[in-house]
Amino acid sequence: MMETPYTLHKFCLRSPTSSLPPTIISALFHPSMIPLLPTPLPLATPVIANPSFEIKHTPHKAFAMYATRDIPEGGLIHIEHPVFIVPNKPLPRDHAGYDQVGSQLPKHAFEEMMTMANCRSKQDCPSPVEGIARTNALMIELNFPPEMDASAKNYGAAFLILNRANHSCGPNAAIKWNLPTLTASMYALRPILAGEEITKTYIDPSLPRSERIAHLQENYGFTCDCQWCNLPTSSSLDSDATRAALRIRLLTHPSYPKWSTDLARADDVVLNSHFDALQLIEQEGMHGLQGIYLEEIALCYAILGDEDRFRMWAERLVRRCKVEDSKLANVFESYLGDVRRFKRWAWRRVQRKQMQGKKARALPPPEDLFSPFLLEAQA
């Protein structure tokens, strides 16, 4: 039998209140990975008391997540520990690892997991647990040291609820993994209406439609039914071009840092470009790209010293990135508490005033401009 370093582990996250049972995570870990988990292990994160979604069976996609009430942009939808963590690579055929993982799960979790999608063939994945893991597991980060071999850093985690989210090329939600708490959080990328399906993306949505379709077919065994994959050919080419442009734009858009120190550039050059980007993002449903534009629009208004507009955009940014980037949300929350905490508040106005002051001092006093002597001299 071929030797494999992956061995089964069970992690027990104690509940913060004695009335709740602990959370168990089964994992197939390389021994070198154990120190890469948080130490000590976090307490179990309680589930959200009044969830804003339900899981329903659908005619064409098996199960799906639906919003049961309106969810605001950036709103937390669900937070969950994985039921299992496994390496994202096939183990030797005779290795019982995946089946062991399955058999170690609590009964209800195992039964639920066995109803999850499995798009792998028996030849490809003889163990159904492996097929389910390969269809559903989300890539997660552990405390990987930089020198570690890239193939060893490849771990996936399966979630009983989050894995019910279907794919869209214009998703309204995204998932953020948090290693210290060993949880994944789902949050809204844009406002979601009650009754809407909650979707995430399984692929890079900026790829052209043909590549997205091929990728989803090959890796997940389905043909995407989203509105962007069903556009007529001519509109689809436009959509491909817009998506490609949005991807490039992230690297090429007018630079906020340069603008913020360069009075020669028009006040609205970055703003106009970013408003334009937000419109294209809206059109393609690529709200995952909004963050940088929202942040820089708020910063532009700070540099311009336009408090009302700064507040409007900074409040939106804080809402939007509360889950995705809580540090950034905290920074902007502190500016909202007192805009003068932003060190370069109204920098462009202040600079212009100072320059005008300097120019005025460099010119002769106004009465001299009209003195008979000057007129004579000019003549």
Ligand X SMILES: C[S@@+](CC[C@H](N)C(=O)[O-])C[C@H]1O[C@@H](n2cnc3c(N)ncnc32)[C@H](O)[C@@H]1O
Q: Does 190 bind ligand X (CB under 6 A)?
A: no
- The nearest distance, CB 79 to ligand X, in angstroms, is 18
- Which residues lie closer than 8 Å to 32 by C-beta, 6 or more apart? 148, 152
> Cα angle at 326 between 320 and 329, to 5 degrees?
60
Of 155, 220, 335, 342, which lies in the binding site for ligand X, with binding defined by CB under 6 A? Answer: 220
Of 66, 110, 222, 347, which lies in the binding site for ligand X, with binding defined by CB under 6 A? Answer: 222
Q: How far from the centroid of its chain's Cα atoms is residue 238's Cα?
A: 25
Q: Does 221 bind ligand X (CB under 6 A)?
A: yes
- The nearest distance, CB 173 to ligand X, in angstroms, is 13
Q: Does 281 bind ligand X (CB under 6 A)?
A: no
- Which residues lie closer than 8 Å to 53 by C-beta, 6 or more apart? 65, 66, 67, 68, 77, 78, 198
- Which residues lie closer than 8 Å to 34 by C-beta, 6 or more apart? 9
- Residue closer to ligand X, measured from CB, 112 or 325: 112
- Residue closer to ligand X, measured from CB, 117 or 182: 117
Q: Does 166 bind ligand X (CB under 6 A)?
A: yes
Q: Does 119 bind ligand X (CB under 6 A)?
A: yes
Rounded Cα gap, residues 116 and 132, in angstroms: 7
Q: Does 139 bind ligand X (CB under 6 A)?
A: no
Span near ligand X by CB under 6 A; candidates 11-19, 151-159, 222-230, 317-325: 222-230
- Residue closer to ligand X, measured from CB, 116 or 133: 116
Length of the chain: 379
Of 78, 81, 167, 200, which lies in the binding site for ligand X, with binding defined by CB under 6 A? Answer: 167
- Which residues lie closer than 8 Å to 87 by C-beta, 6 or more apart? 6, 28, 30, 154, 155, 156
**Closest listed residue to residue 278, CA positions, set 259, 258, 250, 305:** 250
Q: Does 136 bind ligand X (CB under 6 A)?
A: yes
Across-strand partners of 187? 76, 174
- The nearest distance, CB 223 to ligand X, in angstroms, is 7
Of 79, 83, 116, 160, which lies in the binding site for ligand X, with binding defined by CB under 6 A? Answer: 116
Rounded Cα gap, residues 301 and 309, in angstroms: 6
Phi and psi torsions of 143, nearest 5°: -80, 65
Q: Does 134 bind ligand X (CB under 6 A)?
A: no
Residues of span 55-74 touching ligand X by CB under 6 A: 61-64
Q: Does 201 bind ligand X (CB under 6 A)?
A: no
Span near ligand X by CB under 6 A; candidates 220-228, 259-267, 289-297, 363-371: 220-228
Span near ligand X by CB under 6 A; candidates 152-160, 164-172, 206-214, 295-303: 164-172
- Residue closer to ligand X, measured from CB, 136 or 242: 136
Residue 203 identity = I
Q: Does 110 bind ligand X (CB under 6 A)?
A: no
- Residue closer to ligand X, measured from CB, 224 or 297: 224
Number of residues in contact with ligand X under rule CB under 6 A: 20
Rounded Cα gap, residues 183 and 136, in angstroms: 16
- Residue closer to ligand X, measured from CB, 59 or 372: 59
- The nearest distance, CB 116 to ligand X, in angstroms, is 5
**How many CA atoms lie within 13 Å of 147's alpha carbon, on the beta-carbon side?**
1
Q: Does 117 bind ligand X (CB under 6 A)?
A: yes
Span near ligand X by CB under 6 A; candidates 46-54, 80-88, 165-173, 261-269: 165-173
Token pair belonging to 228: 């962007």
- Residue closer to ligand X, measured from CB, 29 or 228: 228
Where do we find the tokens 């899981």? 55
Q: Does 225 bind ligand X (CB under 6 A)?
A: yes
User: Could you tell me the CA-to-CA distances from 255 to 258, 262, 267, 292, 366 in Å, in that order?
Assistant: 5, 11, 13, 11, 40
- Residue closer to ligand X, measured from CB, 28 or 175: 175
Residues 244 and 208: beta-carbon distance below 8 Å: yes
Question: Alpha-carbon torsion 237, 241, 244, 246, what sign?
Answer: negative
Residues 37 and 142: beta-carbon distance below 8 Å: yes
Rounded Cα gap, residues 35 and 335, in angstroms: 38
What are the residues binding ligand X (CB under 6 A)? 61-64, 116-117, 119, 135-136, 163-164, 166-168, 220-222, 224-226
